[in-house]
Amino acid sequence: MKQNGLTNKGGISRLETLERLILERENEILNDPLEGEVSDEEDVPEGVDLAVEEQKKKTKQKDESFETDSSDDNGSVISDESGGEDGDSSSAEKANELKSLGDNHVQSGEWKEAIRCYSEALEHSQMAALYGNRSLCYMKTEEFEKAERDCSCAIELDPTYKRIFRRRAAIRLRRRDYYGSAKDLQDLRILSASSAVDPNIQEEYRIILPLARYIAVQGNCTDDDKFKKLEADVLEKLGEKEEASAKSFMNRKMWAQAMESLSMAIMVSPQTPRLYSDRALVNFKLGKNKMAEKDCTDAIDLDPSNPQYFRLRAEVRKKLGNLKGSEADEKHANTLPPVANKTQKSLPGKLNLRLEETTSRPSKTERPAPTETPLESTVFIRIPVSDVYSSSIDELYNLSNLPDKIKSLFGLP
């Protein structure tokens, strides 16, 4: 029997791992006499097994959620018990060889070929990284159901696979499974208890949570008018947040983090061309020119009247050695009117970030004197933590039994 794509055995293992990580963090806080930050080079405390030690090492690296994983990260081989040692070694070798081929195809943007290599590798050995990397390919080919299934398989093999929790949250968001997306972000926050939690993850969880709570109380209500309004508001806030984060990362030349935010933004608003254009620029900066060309093409398909998209693709194609295609794009861009003379399709209520620098600022006007308003007494209500947040492996806390006064705090009926 499976629940949310995970077997009971895998769910129990995952819960035990999460519980162990939380207890370790509590012990660290209790035993540490200083309030300063723990050094990255500090030895792992006694009693922590090798799996947790490896996980702590990985937290020092960049967590690029939409990249492939190496065989060293989340790639431990789980072989059939019936095979001998020589057979296991041979299978692992073959699996790693096919995985390397798949990774090369991913770098070239050849998603179908990469899927084939990862699928063949899985016939030899079960690696969490293989499922994780194949899920990325399925995302790129917009086979989101298969992508989610592979994420679930990877998490079942390795319940501490932080990157895949982030990826599955994005996939579930695209599939309108807001409850599952919030649950993945919640689990990711728990997994990060032993280190600093990414503020972007915290903010995403905070924005999506109202939808998850609404579904927890009302059930399947996607046709409900109130739900549709809440959904539109949440997606607008999330889209604005991800795009603003991406712009900030790009200004600081933090390309990997910008890629993560842009990929999430595209999941939220797949019909916004400038997001693909921005991600193309990030891919170009990272040297992933094939992916950059694909994103440029997607942006052009959505908005063929923007010359900036053609000029960016011209630069990318020049880098790829496609001089004829580059010249054609540059020539076509010169026939289009400047972008400042047109209104771009954008997220509702979102300012055009490309035109902010050229927009004249309004003249300063005197502010009206503040009017006195009657003071209202602030009422504080103590709510048990278990009523608001739960680390349950199966579900978020069901708020349907809360008093009406507390429900109103969350905007619930």
* 3-class secondary structure, 52: helix
Statement: residue 121 has pLDDT above 90: yes
126: its two tokens: 């079960």
Q: What average pLDDT score do residues 293-305 get?
A: 95
Q: What are phi and psi of 6, to 5 degrees?
A: -115, 145
Which residue from 35, 31, 36, 53 is spatially nearest to 44, judged by alpha carbons?
53
The closest alpha carbon to 245, from 208, 213, 282, belongs to: 282
Q: Which two tokens stand for residue 273?
A: 């061309």
Residue type, 406: I
Amino acid letter, 234: V
What backbone torsions phi and psi does residue 7 show, to the nearest 5 degrees? -75, 160
In sequence order, which residues have a C-beta less than 8 Å from that of residue 293 and are 6 or more positions away?
109, 280, 313, 316, 317, 320
Q: What is the pLDDT of residue 132?
A: 94
Helix runs in 141-224, H state only: 144-157, 162-174, 178-191, 199-218
Q: Do 89-159 and 271-343 show the same overall fold?
A: yes
Instruction: Provide the residue ranges of all domains of the chain, joining segments of one domain with +.
Output: 1-61, 89-159, 271-343
Q: Assess contact for 325 and 310: CB atoms under 8 A.
A: no
351-368 pLDDT, tens digit each: 333 333 333 444 445 555
**What is the Cα–Cα distance from 279 to 5, expressed in whole angstroms?**
31
Question: Amino acid identity of 5?
Answer: G
- Mean pLDDT lowest for which of 69-83, 147-161, 317-331? 69-83
Block residue for tokens 């933004």: 265
Q: What is the pLDDT of residue 274?
A: 94
What residue has token string 């969350």?
A: 410
Distance CA 237, CA 56 (A): 32
Q: For the packed helices 289-302 and 273-285, what is the interaxial angle rounded to 10 degrees?
A: 170
pLDDT band at 314 (very low <50, low <70, confident <90, very high): very high
- Averaged pLDDT, 80-94: 59
Cα separation, 395 vs 304, in Å, equals 44
pLDDT of residue 150: 96
**In a 3-state reduction of DSSP, which class is residue 314?**
helix
Instruction: Give residue 223's pLDDT.
Output: 78
Kind and range of the H or E run holding 237: helix 225-251
Query: In this predicted structure, what is the pLDDT of residue 219?
Result: 81
Sequence-separated (6 or more) residues with CB below 8 Å from residue 97: 121
207 and 201 Cβ atoms separated by less than 8 Å: no
CATH superfamily assigned to domain 89-159:
Tetratricopeptide repeat domain (1.25.40.10)
Angle at 182 between CA 178 and CA 186, to 5 degrees: 170
Distances (CA, A) of 178 to 220, 231, 232, 336: 11, 9, 12, 40
Matching CATH number, 271-343, of 3.30.470.10, 1.10.3720.10, 3.40.50.720, 1.25.40.10 = 1.25.40.10
Contact (Cβ atoms closer than 8 angstroms) between residue 200 and residue 295: no
Q: Taking the CA atoms of the chain, what radius of gyration do you get in angstroms?
A: 24
Beta bridge partners of residue 126, listed in sequence order? 78
Chain segment 41-86, per-residue pLDDT in tens: 334 334 434 443 444 444 333 334 455 665 434 443 332 323 344 5
Residue-averaged pLDDT of the chain = 74
- 268 in Cβ contact with 242 (< 8 Å): yes
Report whether pLDDT(315) > 90.
yes
- Tens of pLDDT, residue by residue over 240-258, are 999 999 999 999 999 998 9
Kindly report the number of other CB atoms within 10 A of residue 202's CB atom: 14
Total residue count of the chain as it appears in this document: 413
Instruction: Give residue 51's pLDDT.
Output: 41
